[in-house]
Amino acid sequence: MLKAKIISTGSYVPSRRLTNGELEQMVDTSDKWIMERTGIRERRIAAEGENTSDLAYEAAVLALSRAGISASSLDIIIVATITGDMPIPATACFLQNRLNATQAAAFDINAACSGFLFGLSTANAYIKSGMYKRILLVGAEALSRFTDWEDRNTCVLFGDGAGAVILEAADGQSGILSVDIHSDGSYWELLNLPGGGSKYPPSEEAAANRLHYIKMKGNETFKVAVRTLEKLVIDALEKNGLKSSDIALLVPHQANLRIISATATRLGIGMDKVMVNLDKCGNTSAASIPIALDEAATSGRIKENDTIILEAFGGGLTWASAVIRW
Q: In this chain, which residue has its C-beta nearest to ligand COA?
A: 218
CB of 150 to ligand COA, least distance (A): 12
134 in Cβ contact with 105 (< 8 Å): no
- Sorted by sequence, the CB contacts under 8 Å of residue 174 that are 6+ apart come out as 3, 5, 304, 305, 325, 326
The residue length of the chain stands at: 326
Q: Identify whether 212 is a catalytic site residue.
A: no
- Sorted by sequence, the CB contacts under 8 Å of residue 107 that are 6+ apart come out as 77, 78, 79, 90, 92, 93
Given the complex with ligand COA, which of 135 and 312 has the nearer CB atom? 312
Using CA atoms, how far apart are residues 35 and 107, in angstroms rounded to an integer?
36
CA-based nearest residue to 193, from 147, 135, 257:
147
Strand, coil or helix: 270: coil
Query: Catalytic pick from 51, 253, 277, 281?
Result: 253
Using CA atoms, how far apart are residues 317 and 111, in angstroms rounded to an integer?
8
CB of 102 to ligand COA, least distance (A): 35
Given the complex with ligand COA, which of 194 and 218 has the nearer CB atom? 218
CA distances (Å), origin 8, targets 67, 135, 144, 291, 303: 5, 11, 28, 12, 13
Given the complex with ligand COA, which of 135 and 142 has the nearer CB atom? 142
CB of 114 to ligand COA, least distance (A): 8
Q: Identify whether 283 is a catalytic site residue.
A: yes
The residues binding ligand COA (CB under 6 A) are 29, 33-34, 37-38, 113, 152-153, 156, 191, 218-219, 221-222, 225, 255-256, 259, 283, 313-314
Q: Identify whether 253 is a catalytic site residue.
A: yes
Given the complex with ligand COA, which of 46 and 259 has the nearer CB atom? 259
120 in Cβ contact with 138 (< 8 Å): no
Strand, coil or helix: 139: strand
Given the complex with ligand COA, which of 192 and 256 has the nearer CB atom? 256
Query: Catalytic pick from 113, 124, 256, 277?
Result: 113
Using CA atoms, how far apart are residues 291 and 251, in angstroms rounded to an integer?
10
* Bridging pattern class, strands 134-142 and 76-80: parallel
Q: What residues act catalytically? A: 113, 253, 283
